[in-house]
Amino acid sequence: MSVISIQSQVVFGHVGNSAAIHPMMANGVEVYAVPTTLLSNTPHYPTLRGKILPPDFVADLLTGVEERGLVAASRLMVTGYLGSVGNGEAVRDFVKRAKAANPQLTYICDPVIGDSDLGVFVASGLPEFFRAELAPLADILTPNAFEFGLLAGLAGHSTEAVAAALKQGASVLPGRIAVTGAIPEAAPGFIDTLIGEGGAVWRIRTPKVDVRPNGTGDLFTGALTAALDGRMTLVEAAEQAVGTVFVVLSAMPAGQPGEMPLAAEVAALRWQGRPFKAELL
């Protein structure tokens, strides 16, 4: 089927739509990609060109999505990096219209706010906007552990803290959540992805790879979305996405910065045998 993906876009590198669309298209999913930003690269380079797109421009593109009948043609919709609260408001209004027009549409919200290394790196007001406006609309949430901690009001974001919060549940968050990048206190050499659904919590554990490229969360959400479009369960889709990210990161030189080699590792973007299995906690 088809996916509407509303995220950032860069000319060089792989973040936002420039990461997420690759596993979707590799698995035969038609992607309708709407940018919220157009940048030459991420801010981690000496120079940066482009800009966050104006809210009226983003809203106009989303109106075009509706005019072409893409809402009715899609099974899933993804949002990621927004850039500004104004863009968030345009996206929120579109999500509401889209879900009303197509009740079968599954909304996957990747609440891009920050990470444990950099802290919050988005515009003022966006963390609160995600919590109050977009998270309640989402069918599935895909935060990293730092973002989940902020949204759920946790003091920490270790595997143990995230798992306990998922078991307890949080009224502002949807009932289906996949949390990436949680570090277990008792096993710091590993990294966990935690899936909460229906009051149950699963853990997918992998060895920690000694690389730190940008866009791994976007790649995970894209791979998860592709698997969900292929009718996998949320747990199966998370297993698939974790395997994809692990193979891509393992192909990078250890300890060196760089962009994810998505073209070279295109085979990893296609559905595999899910080498890392979820364990019910």
Q: What is the CATH number of the domain that holds 145?
A: 3.40.1190.20
Determine the structural domain holding residue 53 and report its residue range.
Answer: 2-280
pTM for this entry: 0.95
Does the structure show a pLDDT above 90 at 170? no
Q: Is 223 helix (H, G, I), strand (E, B) or coil?
A: helix
Domain count, the chain: 1
pLDDT digits (tens, 9 = 90+) for 79-121: 999 999 999 999 999 999 999 999 999 999 999 999 887 778 8
Structure tokens at 65: 């999505």
Q: Taking a C-beta distance cutoff of 8 angstroms, is the pair 116, 181 a contact?
A: yes
Point out the least confidently predicted range of 25-29, 67-71, 124-128, 174-178.
Answer: 174-178
pLDDT of amino acid 184:
93
Q: Give me the sign of the Cα torsion angle 214, 217, 220, 226.
A: negative
Q: Taking a C-beta distance cutoff of 8 angstroms, is the pair 229, 24 a contact?
A: yes
What is the rounded distance in angstroms from the CA atom of residue 107 to the CA atom of residue 98? 9
Structure tokens at 48: 């940066």
